[in-house]
Structure 1
Amino acid sequence: MKVEQIYTGCLAQGAYYIESAGEAIIIDPLRETKPYLDKLEETGAKLKYIFESHFHADFVSGHLDLAKATGATIVYGPMAEPAYDIYSAKDGEVLKLGDVTMTVLHTPGHTMESSTFLLKDASGKDYAIFTGDTLFLGDVGRPDLAIKQGEVTKEDLAGHLFDSLREKIMPLADDVIVYPAHGAGSACGKNLSKETFGLLGDQKKLNYALRADMTREEFIREVTAGLTPAPQYFAKNAMMNKGGYESFSEVLSHGDRPLTPEAFEAIAESEEALVLDTRDRYEFAKMHIPNSIFIGIDGQFAPWVGALIIDIKQPILIVAPEGREEEVVTRLARVGYDNTLGFLDGGLKAWADSGRETDRIEDITAEEFAGRVKNEEVNHILDTRTPSEFLSEHLLAAENFPLDYINNNFAKLDRDETYYLQCGSGYRSLIAASILRARGFSHLVNVQGGWGAVKETDLPKSDFLCPTKMSQEIIDAAVEAVV
């Protein structure tokens, strides 16, 4: 028996490859199928099943393309009713894979169709559970993503989750390995561990949601507390996973094509396409196409695209680091942004050499920023970190302006004022600056290195606010204030 976790850091997502006696299962695959097909060719195994733990909201799964390419059967647990053919397994049903078995455990709560898959080895011993978004390390799946007005509330789903954990998962032995669908960085939970797998016994001791003495009411209260609004693309991805989508090969064919500056500009105008610049942030600040938006490929690229580009069908033109154009198209498609129309061949150099206009954003060091603060040259500081980050430590003069909610809040700003933007490192603040710049804000200054660098300057410590303890009520109030 072979079990391999295939972890994708940008999405904090774990897919799984299980093989026994020449047969294989893949659980929760990403959109692009080539890595899985390459693995099957390498091992010579036949893909028997593609297991889906639920209708994912934070990425578009590759189950449809993978099934078409291999003939494997797509398996969901009870209550899944997609628009394509699947095998709908019953609760407790056992499916055989070579010398081992997989038992389907219906574990509603994150969503109603959520299931956990229990792998038993050749001797029949419980070996591992693949929990999807039901159980993470350190947390459980948020119960507010599948609520239906007038039908089911987040409290209803939290109650189902309590029952699922206590009846299906916690009775299993402590030495069972937990393989979740996500780790730290995912918006599918509140406090996920940086570890990507662990023992169930450790979770029974350390995970707040698995406390043995926890009442149902306490569980519902704690699991639903402090939930920030889900990224707007989540519901759209869930619908794609349920209803079907364009083949990834088709997405790649029209997205990964080189365009001359002339063609690039013509398509941008005729299709009202968004120009998405994914290069290094320092390069973008120095020179970029006017009205383009920066989301760097080397940051949390796909989640920020999903959070900030409201229309999932938005036509997109790409400016990418040389040689990484296909990667950009792929990572956009992972979160459902399939309407990519090509990339700028030759990059910004080709654009500038053609005589076309360029723009820039002032980008200063933390030391220069500190000097301007001391000289009283700075009137408006926008801290683009999350409310909890901001409350933990920030400049007294700063205003919390979270990047997550920029589309809600930019209208509060004055286009005639100068704004200094900072975050934790300079990445999120430059994304915010690019969005504001594209919306007509001309007086913007990004602070390189963000808060981490500003703290190391010689600004008086009296200029900092450093609370020692934050209650959940304070954090919730701060989130409500900026949403």
Structure 2
Amino acid sequence: MKIEQIYTGCLAQGAYYIESEGEVAIIDPLRETQQYIDKATKEHATIKYIFETHFHADFVSGHIDLANKTGATIIFGPNAKTDYDAYIAKDNETFKIGKITIKVLHTPGHTLESATYLLIDENGKDHAIFSGDTLFLGDVGRPDLAIKSDLTKEDLASMLYDSLRNKIMPLADDVIVYPAHGAGSACGKNLSKETVGILGEQKQTNYALRADMTKDEFVKEVLDGILPPPQYFAKNAQMNKSGYTSFDTVLEKGDVALTAQEFENIANHEGALVLDVRTEQEFVKAHIPNSIFIGIHGGFAPWVGALITNLQQPILLVTPKGKEKETVTRLSRVGYDNTLGYLEGGIDAWKDAGKDIEFIESISAEILAERNKNGTIEILDVRKDGEYKSEHLKGDNVHHFPLDYINNNMNTINKKSNYYVHCAGGYRSVIAASILKARGFNVIDIAGGYAALKKTDLPKTDFVCPSTL
């Protein structure tokens, strides 16, 4: 028996490759499926089943493409309804893979069809659970993402309480826990940085698994502090339920080199968004007018999903050399399948063609402190709510303007003002500055973010430990 976790840091997502006696099961595959096929081919094995723990909201799964390429059967838990061929399992139904068995435990709560897959080894011993978004290390799945359900988040939280106590907590303490996500995912609040754990440890340390916890207490604690889900979550879940364009087709359309003139023509004709994924330092120095920055080196896919509201938006890319295919791939992971090509030669080719470029003024924290001696310049802090509450610059001229909700808050600022923008370290502030600049606002980026501002003598609020917020 072989179990391999294939973890993708950008999405904080774990897919799983399970093999026994030449038969393979894949759990929660990523959009690009060739890696699983290649792995099975190398081991002279056949992919038999593709298990989906639920309709994922934070990424588009590769289950449909993988089934089409291999003939493997897609399996969902009870209550799932799909627009493509899939086997909907019953609670406690079992599936053989070589000498091992996968047992379906219906664990609704995160979503109605959520299933946990229990792996029983060749000796009949419970070995591991693949818990999807039902149980994380340190947390449990948020109960507010069910597709088109009449149930409230309180109803789903109540179901989750029962699922955990009736299906998962009775399992032996030495059962291994393989969750779908780790720290950084928006599918929970308090996920551990660890990606594999032991059930007994979770029973002792996970707040949601306290033995003396009542259902009312569970519902209250699980729902406390949950922020609205990113706008793309429901759209990705629907794609996973209804189907999508083949990844190979998406890549063929998007991984196309364009001259500067071709790039400009397509941008104008298709109304394409120009997405620049280089570093923030490169972007502020020179970029195509009206382009948006989201650097591929940061939390790229989740920020794209949070900020580009139309999954069908035509997109043209400005990328570092050699990152073109990777960028198209990572966009497709969160459902952005309409990439139309990339600028061959990058920003230098644009300049060489005599095209206009723009820049964003970026100043140091020390220069900001000089300019703000009278406390009159307008400062936008684009960090998340918890970051801002824990500590921020003081003053009536300091405004919390979280990047997550920038599209909803444009009417709160004035195009006649100059805005100085900062985040924690510099990545998110340039994203925000690029969006604001493209919409006609006057922006100045503060390089180094709050980490640099803390070292100045600018007035700040007292630090409050985030855990007490």
Q: Counterpart of 2:370?
A: 371
Residue 411 (structure 1) shift = 1.5
Q: Residues 394-473 of structure 1 correspond to what in structure 2 (within 5 A)?
A: 394-397=392-395, 398-441=398-441, 443-457=442-456, 459-460=457-458, 463-468=459-464
> 1:300-351 CA deviation, whole Å, 9 max, x = no partner?
0000000000011000001111110000000000000001100001110010
Q: Counterpart of 1:269?
A: 268
Contact 1:147–1:153 under 8 Å retained in 2: no
Residue 469 (structure 1) shift = 5.3
Give the aligned length.
Answer: 467
Q: Counterpart of 2:216?
A: 217
SS at match of 1:329: helix
Contact 1:264–1:343 under 8 Å retained in 2: yes
Q: Given residue 224 of structure 1, which amino acid in structure 2 is its aligned partner?
A: L
Q: Residues 315-334 of structure 1 correspond to what in structure 2 (within 5 A)?
A: 315-334=314-333
Partner Cα separation in structure 2 for residue 471 and residue 430 of structure 1: 28
> 1:350-400 CA deviation, whole Å, 9 max, x = no partner?
1011111101001122232233333x3751111100111100011113211
SS at match of 2:409: helix
Partner Cα separation in structure 1 for residue 188 and residue 466 of structure 2: 19
SS at match of 2:317: strand
Normalised by the length of structure 2, the TM-score is 0.98
Structure 2's unaligned 5+ residue stretches are none
> 1:140-173 CA deviation, whole Å, 9 max, x = no partner?
0000011646x21000100100000000000011
Q: 2:140 aligned with 1:135, yes or no?
A: no
Partner Cα separation in structure 2 for residue 279 and residue 314 of structure 1: 20
SS at match of 1:330: helix
Residue 120 (structure 1) shift = 1.1
Q: Residues 181-196 of structure 1 correspond to what in structure 2 (within 5 A)?
A: 181-196=180-195
> 1:241-275 CA deviation, whole Å, 9 max, x = no partner?
00000000000011000011111001101100000
- The alignment's C-alpha RMSD in Å is 1.3
Contact 1:378–1:420 under 8 Å retained in 2: no
Q: Residues 11-22 of structure 1 correspond to what in structure 2 (within 5 A)?
A: 11-22=11-22
Q: Given residue 393 of structure 2, which amino acid in structure 1 is its aligned partner?
A: L
Q: Percent identity?
A: 64
> 1:45-64 CA deviation, whole Å, 9 max, x = no partner?
11010000000000000001
Normalised by the length of structure 1, the TM-score is 0.95
Contact 1:119–1:126 under 8 Å retained in 2: yes
Q: Counterpart of 2:347?
A: 348
Contact 1:132–1:180 under 8 Å retained in 2: yes
Partner Cα separation in structure 1 for residue 105 and residue 426 of structure 2: 44
Q: Given residue 334 of structure 1, which amino acid in structure 2 is its aligned partner?
A: R
SS at match of 2:90: coil
Contact 2:134–2:160 under 8 Å retained in 1: yes
SS at match of 1:395: coil
Residue 128 (structure 1) shift = 0.6
Distance 1:256 1:469, change over 3 A: closer
Q: Counterpart of 2:378?
A: 380
Contact 1:147–1:154 under 8 Å retained in 2: no
Q: Counterpart of 2:94?
A: 94
> 1:27-57 CA deviation, whole Å, 9 max, x = no partner?
0000001211121121111101000000000
Partner Cα separation in structure 2 for residue 63 and residue 111 of structure 1: 18
SS at match of 2:433: helix
Partner Cα separation in structure 1 for residue 466 and residue 331 of structure 2: 36
Q: Given residue 189 of structure 2, which amino acid in structure 1 is its aligned partner?
A: K
Partner Cα separation in structure 1 for residue 350 and residue 123 of structure 2: 63
Contact 1:118–1:130 under 8 Å retained in 2: yes
Partner Cα separation in structure 1 for residue 312 and residue 179 of structure 2: 30
Structure 1's unaligned 5+ residue stretches are 476-483
Distance 1:195 1:300, change over 3 A: same
Q: Given residue 361 of structure 1, which amino acid in structure 2 is its aligned partner?
A: I
Contact 1:421–1:429 under 8 Å retained in 2: yes
Contact 2:371–2:377 under 8 Å retained in 1: no
Q: Counterpart of 1:197?
A: 196
Partner Cα separation in structure 2 for residue 24 and residue 30 of structure 1: 16
Q: Given residue 99 of structure 1, which amino acid in structure 2 is its aligned partner?
A: K
Q: Residues 22-421 of structure 1 correspond to what in structure 2 (within 5 A)?
A: 22-146=22-146, 148=148, 151-374=150-373, 376=374, 379-397=377-395, 398-421=398-421
Partner Cα separation in structure 2 for residue 411 and residue 434 of structure 1: 17
SS at match of 1:75: strand
Q: Given residue 123 of structure 1, which amino acid in structure 2 is its aligned partner?
A: N
SS at match of 1:368: helix
Contact 2:147–2:234 under 8 Å retained in 1: no
Residue 471 (structure 1) shift = 8.2
Partner Cα separation in structure 2 for residue 404 and residue 32 of structure 1: 27
